[in-house]
Structures are given as C-alpha cells and as structure tokens.
Amino acid sequence: MKTIGLIGGMSWESTQSYYQLLNQGVKNKLGGLHSAKIVLVSLDFAEIAVLQQQQDWPQMAEILIKAAKQVEAAGADYLLICTNTMHKLAKQVQDAVAIPLLHIADAVGENLIQHNFKKVALLGTQFTMEQDFYKQRLADKFAIEVLIPDAQGRETVHRVIYDELCKGVISPQSKAEYLTIIDNLTQQGAEAIILGCTEIALLVQQADTSIPLLDSTALHCAMALENSLN
C-alpha cells in the first residue's frame, strides 16, 4: 500500500471527509483492521481565506509549496490538495516536488468521460466557477462544455460555502437555494452537476435531485485509492 499525502484544512470540514473516505475505501478493499497510510499537513484556512480575498495567489503558492514539501519529506508517494479552489496553484505545487500531484479536475473529468457526459454545470467558489483553471482543464483535456450559474447564483453558492459550510452550518434554506440553482442549470442543458467545492456534498446529496451529482471529493479519493492499492 502506498502512502497518500494530503494538504488539508481548507476547510477542515471537507478534510474530515477525505480522511473518512480514504480509510473506508481501504477497509472495504482490504478488510480486517486495514486503514489508509496518510500523511496530512493541515493549514489554517483563515489565513488562506484572507489571501484569497486579496487575490494574493503568489503568497498562497508559497504556503502550499511549503506544505507539499513537508508531505513529501514525510514519505508520501503522491499528493492531493484537498480543495478544488486551490488547484489554481496545482502547477506551481507540482513543479516544487518530485512526487505526483493527483489533480481533482482529472478525477472529475475521467468520471464524466466514463458516463459519456458532454455538457455539465459547475458549482464551487466564485474563484472556481469564474476563473479558467478548472473549466479550461475540463474543456481542453476531456472536451467537456461547462456551464456555471448566473451572477446572483454564483454569489449565493460562494456565500453559503464560506459563511456556512466551511463552519459546519447546514441550512435547509441554503439547500433549497442550491436545488433551485441546480434546476436552472438543468433547464439550460446540463447533463450532470459537478459539486466542485469539497464542502458542497455536506449540503446537497443525490437523493435531493434527479440530475446526476458528481462529488469531487469522493472522486478525488477514489483516484487516490486506485493509486494507493493498485
């Protein structure tokens, strides 16, 4: 079994999901008392959130690169950044370490191809929805057309992530707002919805809607387990 390296804490709510899914996956595959071999460097999300608002991506890159080197030095065989938004810095992080970085958008893209989805919608932070680092990777590497909510919808999705989900708050009103946004995107032709923020699956589950939901956290963990156990 290989050792999985994680850069987490952004937020710790979603990093908890990573830890649980990875260990459950190893247990299901190997049985007995087996658990995942994990190296975790957990950051203080408050510091990252301030830098995000300031658009200080160079400083955030320095923080992630330092964490990646710590993970590598601790013996990880490969690396996951446990957040969609911070994959904006994936190239800088990968260039700084020798171990491979498993990109969350690749985990999502491979699943889209398997299910023959060509046109999907993306929910995430405003950084993820509005900037090209995620959408363009899906377009260039997997030929996927990506829709995003309108300006008001993007503001709602972003606000709920930072003001509620990252703080462990699950609001029925926010869930209803998300489902309305999902319905609107479905009417625009989306064949599936990417839950492109690692906290969104805490709020919206497949049982809430008929359109397929792709949980980026679960798919990222599945990719990690495939690399760890095969």
* DSSP symbols for 67-132: HHHHHHHTT-SEEEES-SGGGGGHHHHHHH-SSPB--HHHHHHHHHHHTT--EEEEES-HHHHHSH
pLDDT value at residue 230: 76
Please report the domains of the chain, with CATH numbers, ordered by start residue: 4-103+218-229 (3.40.50.1860), 105-215 (3.40.50.1860)
Show the low-confidence residues of the chain (pLDDT under 70). none
Give the residue numbers marked as catalytic. Answer: 83, 197
In whole angstroms, give the CA distance from residue 60 to residue 47: 9
- What are the two backbone dihedrals, phi and then psi, of residue 79, each rounded to the nearest 5 degrees? -135, 140
pLDDT value at residue 199: 87
SS3 of 56, please?
A: coil
In whole angstroms, give the CA distance from residue 86 to residue 128: 9
Could you report the per-residue pLDDT of 7-43, keeping only the tens digit for each? 999 989 889 999 999 999 999 999 999 999 999 999 9
Could you report the per-residue pLDDT of 136-154, keeping only the tens digit for each? 999 999 999 999 999 999 9
pTM above 0.85, yes or no: yes
